[in-house]
Chain A
Amino acid sequence: MGLGTFFTSKLDEAIGWARKYSIFQYPFVTACCGMEYMATACSHYDIDRFGAGLPRFSPRQADVLFVVGTISHKMAPVLKRVYDQMTEPKWVVAFGVCTCTGGFYDNYATVQGIDTIIPVDVYIPGCPPRPESVIDGLMKLQDRIAAQAQRY
């Protein structure tokens, strides 16, 4: 093990630590879960504490895609396009059961889980999830961001 490797791993950690506290999210809000997303983002639950307080409403400036609410067949191409427009590194959070599995909308119009369209990093279940579980999901995402190999 040379000196370089040692430094790289430490640098990775430092960058991971910085990245996990500077989450710029793109809230792709479609449905009911958006109400809980609002509640989480506002002063009562305050996700700013986790460095995720600034939503970026442009996919090109965001690095975490929050898919909030049911995705219908009509909406699926839009979601795919927004995901493609985001720059690396990027993560996806599936917010609520509709995005995880389609939820109780087992019908002709609803996509049965957004992971059939785009890769997902963290699933937050609940219909809609309470702010506490959203924050839990966000912290899991932070751990994941910090632990993964960093590309820079």
Chain B
Amino acid sequence: MDGAAMLAALRARFGSGVIETHDFRGDHTAVVTREALPRVLAHCRDEPALAFEMLTDLTAVDYSKYPGREDGPRFEVVYHLYSIAHNHRLRVKVRVDEDDAVVPTAVDLWPVADWFEREVWDMFGVRFAGHPDPRRLLMYEEFVGHPLRKDYPIDRRQPLIGPTN
């Protein structure tokens, strides 16, 4: 299935669950609602014509300083899927507001999402509902704030932590 057909099939199946689709430089992208996200991801993995058995990447983008999108939903969580069987890729995105930055977890679909989601929580402060172990991944527990947010200055250093066991 080529990218355009993939997006059309997703639109047909999930209706208003798919907010928009686009294809920029050959990267096919579907933006879905938070409510539809678990169903879309499960469909992508289990539908034989799609068969995305690999979640290659999961990350987020903070759009609060993006021209034209300052007032929209602040965060976008981005899933990059890949299918070994069909050798195709798909990008799925979901938008969330800052005051309600919670996305359903994908750990039960792909176990690798465990660490990716912990990293997104660490760096952006987006929570994943149902995550079994929501700790920080890269920074230490004493760290205050989420460094990849656009309002975190790059050189804001925090006090050194003491020797811990």
- A residues near B (Cβ < 8 Å) are 73-74, 76-78, 80-81, 106-109, 111-112, 116-117
- Number of interface residues, chain B, beta carbon within 8 A: 16
Near A by CB (< 8 A), chain B positions 117-165 give 139-140, 143, 147, 152-158, 160-164
Minimum-distance CB pairs A-B, first 9: A77-B163, A74-B140, A81-B163, A107-B154, A76-B160, A108-B156, A108-B147, A108-B157, A80-B163
Residue of B nearest to A78 (CB): B163
For A77, give its contact among B147, B157, B164 (CB under 8 Å): B164
Chain B residues whose C-beta falls within 8 Å of the C-beta of A107 in the assembled complex? 154-155
Classify the secondary structure of B's interface with A.
loop
Most chain B CB within 10 A, of A78, A109, A112, A116, is at A109
A-B contact pairs, 14 of them (CB 8 A): A73-B140, A73-B157, A74-B140, A77-B162, A80-B163, A81-B163, A106-B155, A107-B154, A107-B155, A108-B155, A108-B157, A109-B147, A111-B160, A117-B160
Q: Is the CB of A109 within 8 A of B139?
A: yes
Chain A residues whose C-beta falls within 8 Å of the C-beta of B147 in the assembled complex? 108-109
Chain B residues whose C-beta falls within 8 Å of the C-beta of A106 in the assembled complex? 154-155
Chain B residues whose C-beta falls within 8 Å of the C-beta of A116 in the assembled complex? 160
Cα(A73)–Cα(B143), bound, Å: 10
Q: Is the CB of A108 within 8 A of B154?
A: yes
For B161, give its contact among A76, A81, A112 (CB under 8 Å): A76
Tell me how far the C-beta of B121 lies from the nearest C-beta in chain A, rounded to whole angstroms: 17
Residue of B nearest to A75 (CB): B140
Cα(A74)–Cα(B142), bound, Å: 10
Chain A residues whose C-beta falls within 8 Å of the C-beta of B162 in the assembled complex? 77
Chain B residues whose C-beta falls within 8 Å of the C-beta of A78 in the assembled complex? 163
Q: Is the CB of B163 within 8 A of A73?
A: no
Chain A residues whose C-beta falls within 8 Å of the C-beta of B156 in the assembled complex? 108
Most chain B CB within 10 A, of A74, A107, A108, A117, is at A108
For B160, give its contact among A73, A81, A108 (CB under 8 Å): A73
Most chain B CB within 10 A, of A73, A80, A81, A116, is at A73
Chain B residues whose C-beta falls within 8 Å of the C-beta of A74 in the assembled complex? 139-140, 161
Cα(A74)–Cα(B164), bound, Å: 10
Given contacts A77-B162, A116-B160, 9 further A-B contacts (CB under 8 A): A73-B143, A76-B160, A76-B161, A80-B163, A108-B147, A108-B153, A108-B156, A109-B147, A111-B160
Tell me how far the C-beta of B45 lies from the nearest C-beta in chain A, rounded to whole angstroms: 34
Q: Is the CB of A108 within 8 A of B158?
A: yes
Residue of A nearest to B143 (CB): A73
